[in-house]
Amino acid sequence: MNWYSELYLGKSARAKREKLIQKIESGKTPVNAYLLTLAPGEKNQLEIVPAWNLRFEHNRAQLPLIIGIGCGKAEIFELVRRITEEVYSETKGADLRAYFKQKIREA
């Protein structure tokens, strides 16, 4: 799996970071965990993926860059808001995909 080096975490996910990543990497399904990824196509920017969806090997193999983890829908939506505000404050735009692609190139 491809993890963003500066992974964004919700409040609950922050406390369980290592345990969540370990479960996700091993194909287990953490209850109520959601991943925030770059959307696979060019039309959308981000995609929210329920962790339970990764119990299928073909879904794990096709997963793009993971940029965040949240425990629960409210927490993952809060991450999207926080990321969007961060990108806007730095770029005065909302092209999240371009922002992360640039950050990856710089790393």
Q: Could you report the per-residue pLDDT of 60-75, keeping only the tens digit for each?
A: 777 888 999 999 999 9
What confidence score (pLDDT) does residue 43 get?
A: 86
Could you tell me which residues come within 8 angstroms of residue 10 by beta carbon, excluding any fewer than 6 positions away? 68, 69, 70, 71, 72, 75, 76, 78, 79
Question: Model confidence at 40, in pLDDT bands (50, 70, 90)?
Answer: confident
* Mean residue pLDDT across the chain: 90
Record the pTM.
0.89
What pLDDT band is residue 91 in, cutting at 50, 70 and 90? Answer: very high
